[in-house]
Amino acid sequence: MAQDTFLEDMKEPLVPVVPMSHTAHIRSHRKPRRSASTLAVRAGVAGGVLSTLAVAGASGSANAAEPVTQTLELPTLTADLAAQAAQTADATEQAAANYQLQAERDAAAAKAAKEAKADLAEAKKKAAAEKKKAEEAARKEAAERASRNAERTTLSASASTSASTSTTASAPAGGSVATVISFLKAQVGDAYVMGATGPNAWDCSSLVQAAFRQVGVDLPRVSQDQSTVGTEVSLSNLQVGDILYWGAKGSAYHVGVYIGNGQYLDAANPSKGVVIQDLSGYPATGAVRVL
């Protein structure tokens, strides 16, 4: 029975077997299929990292049975990202530098404004001090001038009295020299002006003439003539009240009056005015005595 069954089975037609290729079991020898997902992956590479990864994931799911072996062009994508990152970093660094520079400028401007304010306050303070000083000097000068004017008035009155009792140029009483010196000292600080005859400006000879007029002695107007009046005296034997002259006798170019202690008083020049000076600094040529 069993043998009959076997024989029956043997009567069935056999299906021919096709022999397999000897390389059919190697995966790398299978030709990958071009699919829409592969094209999508390439488009994703050009568009950006996220699109590429998404498409690649979808492609991987769709072709799970047959994996994609084509290599993505990541080096190009990486270079683009690096360039973008570098540009962003440069822009951030530049913005930070600009903010820092602006902050430094603001700080410098604030400091300059503070210093300018302090300088202005100091300048105002100095100006106020200078103004106060000038006003004080003006008041002092006015008081001194008023004092000199009062002394001149007194001396003039005294000179008028002396003139009424004296008609010659001979030496009056002993107090006359003191009167001359007092008048001269009252003019210290007055201006020097060529040709001026007082009361606040003099030249050298007009001052000497006015001083001796206080005691009734009329002297010539100019220094050349004043050097020839009275009695000639040596410079080693000077007395208070002697008239000093500079230049040759009869052609002197400057005169003054000896006031003792090696000093003389004169209307010196426009820069000095009426001053007291040391005879050693500007020795006279000669001297005459009229008192």
Q: Are 288 and 242 in contact (CB under 8 A)?
A: yes
CATH 3.90.1720.10, the chain: domain bounds: 103-291
Identify the pLDDT of residue 146.
59
Taking the CA atoms of residue 220, residue 225, residue 228 and residue 229 in that order, the dihedral angle to the nearest 10 degrees is 0
Query: Does the pLDDT value for residue 71 go beyond 60?
Result: no
d(CA 87, CA 83): 6
Mean pLDDT within 134-140: 75
CATH number of the structural domain 103-291: 3.90.1720.10
Mean pLDDT within 179-194: 97
- Give me the DSSP letters along 262-290: TEEEEEEETTTEEEEEEGGGS--SEEEE-
The band of 32, judged by pLDDT with boundaries at 50, 70 and 90, is low
Mean pLDDT within 169-191: 81
The band of 38, judged by pLDDT with boundaries at 50, 70 and 90, is low
Of residues 277 and 54, which shows the higher confidence score?
277
Mean pLDDT within 18-27: 53
Structure tokens at 50: 């996220």
DSSP summary character for residue 169 = S
Query: Does the pLDDT value for residue 158 go beyond 50?
Result: no
The band of 230, judged by pLDDT with boundaries at 50, 70 and 90, is very high
Contacts of 51 (CB under 8 A, 6+ apart): 43, 44
d(CA 42, CA 136): 98
Identify the pLDDT of residue 214.
95
288 - beta bridge partners? 232, 243
Structure tokens at 159: 């000179």
Identify the pLDDT of residue 165.
35
H or E element, residue 245: strand 243-246
pLDDT tens profile 253-275: 999 999 999 999 999 999 999 99
For the chain, percent of residues with pLDDT exceeding 70: 60
Identify the pLDDT of residue 22.
53
Query: Does the pLDDT value for residue 289 go beyond 50?
Result: yes
Structure tokens at 77: 């994508």
- Give 21's Cβ-side CA count (13 Å radius): 7
For the chain, what is the radius of gyration of the CA atoms? Answer: 62
Query: Does the pLDDT value for residue 119 go beyond 80?
Result: yes
Q: Are 183 and 214 in contact (CB under 8 A)?
A: yes
Q: Are 40 and 55 in contact (CB under 8 A)?
A: yes
DSSP summary character for residue 20 = P
Q: Are strands 201-202 and 191-192 parallel, antiparallel or unpaired?
A: parallel
Identify the pLDDT of residue 132.
84
Mean pLDDT within 96-115: 88
d(CA 246, CA 223): 9
Q: Are 243 and 287 in contact (CB under 8 A)?
A: yes
The band of 237, judged by pLDDT with boundaries at 50, 70 and 90, is very high
DSSP summary character for residue 24 = T
Query: Does the pLDDT value for residue 172 go beyond 50?
Result: no
